[in-house]
Amino acid sequence: MNLLNQFKNPRLCEEVLTQLKNELKGPFRFMEVCGTHTVAIFQSGLRSLFPEELIHVSGPGCPVCVTHEREVAAFLELAQKDVILATFGDLMRVPGPDKKTLKDLQAEGARIKIVYSPFDALKLAIENPKEKVVFLGIGFETTAPTVAATLNLAKEQGITNFSVLCLHKLVPPALEALVSDKSLKVEGFLLPGHVSAIIGLEPYKFLAKNYGIPSVIGGFEPLDILQAIYLMVKMANEEKPEAINNYKRVVKDQGNLNALAMMDKVFEPCGALWRGIGEIPNSGLKIREEFAQFDARKLFSIEELPDVPPIKGCRCGDVLKGIIRPDECPLFKKVCTPQSPVGPCMVSTEGSCAAYYKYSL
């Protein structure tokens, strides 16, 4: 059996689950903030094995879901201008204020191309020199370095018909916004493996230091997840909260220094809007002045986002803050389904509502 398979080994998982059950002294509520963890916990069947006292909530870990309705309105407006909009496929079905999606606009003739990386979008610009190609930059610290590297390459190559609508977001400031809200009761955080591979361990240390909350960077296999939760519960019981990196086969404590340097070269922190949470200071990235010629917000006059109301009836905001479970939303499964999603948490395959729909019924 190869080493990776050991992280799926049922016998080892059972052993850690037993240790976890023995360690639980009462209800323990933990939050994961990564769409891949959300899906992994359901898909592996772990959720059905968790003891009753272990309460799992999903936080703002799906980049599509946290994209604010005003940001969605902005990219839908942009798609209707004289541009080719290049985007990752998971944004195609996110509904805007009038329920229209990029997919609808594409059917009506808007030039929208699905790409698999920002470099593909740059290639599209190079192959179509008379067109303005805009890449939709949405995602956390995992995606932002590649977008930064693409902009750096565009600058080096003197490309003039390529830009990025930068709506990237940063995870640690969102965690701080959540924990500083006293109404949210979270006793431990399962920290995102992918984001942490870029930013490392340091940015999470405030959780233990300032709020007394244990947190563990965990991988995505069942054993990774169980070990991370066990460590959280143990730290809480011993009243010795810390931030621990338990995914060392992928995450270095110092993060990926090259990726961080590239991000810092191209982007600077700014306030950003999060669906259901509102504006969080320093939780977004904007393109630095040195790269202003690639900033779609400047080029297409969208520095101010359109003012639009939230989607009527959709409780995505409360789902993303862990206040309600998806099945507590009155629209869940009745009018909101993966085939006909009302909000982004049902659109994205990594959204909590979609995961609940698919795996918990």
Note the residues at the interface with ligand SF4 (CB under 6 A).
314-316, 319, 326, 329, 331-332, 336, 342-343, 345-346, 353
Q: Measure Cα distances from 225 to 39, 171, 318 in Å.
A: 12, 19, 24
CB nearer ligand SF4, residue 200 or residue 317? 317
User: Token pair of 203, please?
Assistant: 């940015």
Judge contact between 7 and 46, C-beta under 8 A: no
For residue 282, what is the enclosing H or E element?
strand 278-287
DSSP 45-108: SHHHHS-TTEEEEE-S--HHHHB-HHHHHHHHHHHTSSSEEEE-GGGTT---TTS--HHHHHHT
User: Token pair of 281, please?
Assistant: 């200071």
CB nearer ligand SF4, residue 13 or residue 64? 64
Going by C-beta distance under 8 Å and a sequence separation of 6 or more, which residues neighbour residue 86? Answer: 112, 113, 114, 115, 118, 120, 121, 124, 133, 134, 135, 136
From the CB of residue 264, how many other CB atoms can be counted at a distance below 10 Å? 14
Judge contact between 352 and 62, C-beta under 8 A: yes
CB nearer ligand SF4, residue 3 or residue 361? 361
Judge contact between 142 and 197, C-beta under 8 A: yes
Give CA–CA dist 336/350, Å, rounded. Answer: 16
User: Cα dihedral sign for 186, 323, 306, 161?
Assistant: positive
CB nearer ligand SF4, residue 95 or residue 137? 95
Judge contact between 213 and 188, C-beta under 8 A: yes
Q: For the CB of residue 294, give the shortest distance to ligand SF4 in the complex, in Å.
A: 33
From the CB of residue 212, how many other CB atoms can be counted at a distance below 10 Å? 14
CB nearer ligand SF4, residue 260 or residue 331? 331
CB nearer ligand SF4, residue 133 or residue 345? 345
| Cβ-proximal residue to ligand SF4, closest one | 343
CB nearer ligand SF4, residue 296 or residue 331? 331
CB nearer ligand SF4, residue 56 or residue 315? 315
CB nearer ligand SF4, residue 180 or residue 340? 340
User: Of the candidates 76, 68, 78, 69, which has an alpha carbon nearest to the alpha carbon of residue 295?
Assistant: 78
Instruction: Decide: helix, strand or coil at residue 129.
Output: coil
Q: For the CB of residue 351, give the shortest distance to ligand SF4 in the complex, in Å.
A: 7
Judge contact between 244 and 216, C-beta under 8 A: yes
CB nearer ligand SF4, residue 11 or residue 334? 334
